[in-house]
A and B are shown apart, each in its own frame.
Chain A
Amino acid sequence: MCLGVPGRVIDVQGFTATVEFWGVRREIRLDVVDEPVAPGDYVLNHVGFAIRRIPEAEIAETLALYELLLREAEGDMMAADVRGEIEASSTGPVP
């Protein structure tokens, strides 16, 4: 649950941002992150909130790690946790 998930900011509207996760677009809240966030930035997100702006130099390494996890099958626990973090940014209960 504390794995979080990185995503690229597409658009910012006040305290909400549209963030893209490997082609999937979701709404993320910006109330918690402690730096200004702009389109093009990468943020680390946990339960629907950006908790950190990822510095330029670390983006590639961070994405590579998560891609390694996401290549795992549906049943893999770490992959499922990362997918859950992406789902956290959609609205409404899980169907």
Chain B
Amino acid sequence: MTPEVAVAGETTDLRFRDPARARGLARALERLCAEIGRERVSVMHVCGSHEQAIAKFGLRTVLPRRLDVIMGPGCPVCVTDLPEVDEAIVLAEDGVVIATYGDMLRVPGTTRSLAEVQADGGRVEVVYSAAQAVELARDTTDQVVFFASGFETTAVATAAVILDGPPPNLSVLSAHKYIPPVMEIVAEMPGTRVEGYLAAGHAATITGWGIFERFVERHGIPVVVAGFEPLDILAGLVELVELIRDGKREVLNAYPRCVTRDGNRNAQAQLWRVFRATGGRWRGIAHVPNGNLRLRDEFAHVDARRRFAIDVRRLWTQAPPTLAQLCICGDIMAGIRSPKDCALFGRACVPESPVGACMVSSEGTCRIWHQYGGHPDLRSLSPHDSDRLP
């Protein structure tokens, strides 16, 4: 294995496995942006793992000053809407066992979170997989609801478990989301500047890069699929900025060692056999047509929304926490603002006591920026930076 070597120069703590190549890619980006000649070039990625790698490895410090790499709605936990969390809370309050991924516990609902219900004696169990929810249901006669979050990559696992015939006391409350439609919504939002998308490699492992072709046709915005290794991200950015310079509307696959045009067809078949895409709200962003994955009628018997009469209105008689109203998570995920624009960032809102969902999840922009040094970008990241923090 190649030892880690720090890239010399103005950057700090850059540990690339091939620093010479990293420097070459950074220079190529610099040259491309100069050729474009505009004051700002903005691209968006939609993957928590991309943001983790960008922040952790300090990639923004080697990017050209005029290139903005913005994280869009790439955190499934963060876009889970308040009423969806409320549904799980009502079920837990009514004595149902809720099994869910760890990050979902502290995501605020309208008035409180699942963690608070758990502290009050509600049975909320953390699982790392849908299969663990099945095991949990096998060990009890009580009703178990798997509160399932995640994008299509994760929804495939939920689908496989449902197709496998889960125990009769297990049902699924789906908060699964489908990424391609939200890319269309965000691209059209006023105030958002997306000149190109960097698509997430591992999601495309399953869906294939072909699904982005329709998007490119409709919106004229290029898409490049990239892995999450620092060099993969830089290489993907070079290809993306090149497409922008040449005015080309194309999908390129910069991650051919993992992603094919058609993806994993077996996984797609299972996904779409169990789920259908319906419209729904993504927290703080917008109503996204076809953005939510819901169980098909054929699987009504495992759908928690059909098994239980879930009435969340009783939660809405209590006043929502006042700080939550100041959260600008939605604007951050739409690429309009950055965590530095939030007056609560790092002060009233920290990972130990998060105000918004973006500070809860390890894929949330605020949480990632907080962990890797507050604001990992030492340059001014966006023209909206107001530096309200001292």
**B201 CB to closest chain A CB, in angstroms?**
9
Task: Please give, as numbers and ranges, the residues of chain B lying within 8 Å of A80 by CB-CB distance.
Answer: 362
Q: Are B126 and A94 in contact (CB under 8 A)?
A: yes
- Is B202 within 8 A of A92, CB to CB? no
A1-33 to B contact mask, C-beta < 8 Å, 1/0: 111100000000000000000000000010111
B263 to chain A, nearest CB (A): 9
B264 & A2 in contact (Cβ 8 Å cutoff): no
Write out the residue numbers on chain A whose beta carbons fall within 8 Å of the beta carbon of B131: 29, 48, 91
Q: Is the CB of B267 within 8 A of A34?
A: yes
Is A58 engaged at the interface, CB distance under 8 Å to the other chain?
yes
Contact (Cβ within 8 A) B154 A1? yes
In the complex, B160 has a CB within 8 A of chain A:
yes
Nearest B residue to A65, CB-CB: B229
Contacts of A78 in B (CB 8 A): 49, 52-53, 56
A44 within 8 A of B: yes
A77 proximal to B (CB < 8 A): yes
Residue of B with least CB distance to A49: B157
On chain B, the residues within 8 Å of A90 by CB distance are 128, 132
Residue numbers in B under 8 Å from A32 (CB-CB): 156-157, 160, 264, 266-267, 270
Contact of B228 among A3, A29, A87 (CB under 8 A): A3
Nearest B residue to A55, CB-CB: B257
Give chain B residues whose Cβ lies under 8 Å from the Cβ of A94: 102, 125-128, 132
| Binary contact readout B333-358 vs A (1 if CB under 8 angstroms, 0 otherwise) | 00000000000000000000000000
Is B368 in the interface zone, CB < 8 Å from A? Answer: yes
B10 on interface, CB distance cutoff 8 Å = no
Instruction: Give 1 or 0 for each of A31-54: 1 = CB within 8 Å of chain B CB.
Output: 111100000000010111101100
Contacts of A33 in B (CB 8 A): 264, 266
Q: Quick check: A46 and B52 within 8 Å, CB to CB?
A: no
Query: A29–B264 Cα gap in the complex (Å)?
Result: 15
Among residues of A, the one whose C-beta sits closest to the C-beta of B164 is A31
User: Does B371 reach chain A (CB closer than 8 Å)?
Assistant: yes
22 cross-chain CB contacts under 8 A: A1-B154, A2-B47, A2-B49, A2-B153, A2-B202, A32-B157, A32-B160, A46-B157, A47-B129, A47-B150, A48-B129, A51-B202, A58-B257, A65-B17, A68-B17, A77-B367, A77-B368, A78-B52, A80-B362, A85-B128, A93-B126, A94-B132
| Cβ-closest 9 pairs across A and B | A48-B129, A88-B128, A88-B129, A34-B266, A93-B125, A47-B157, A31-B160, A47-B129, A94-B126
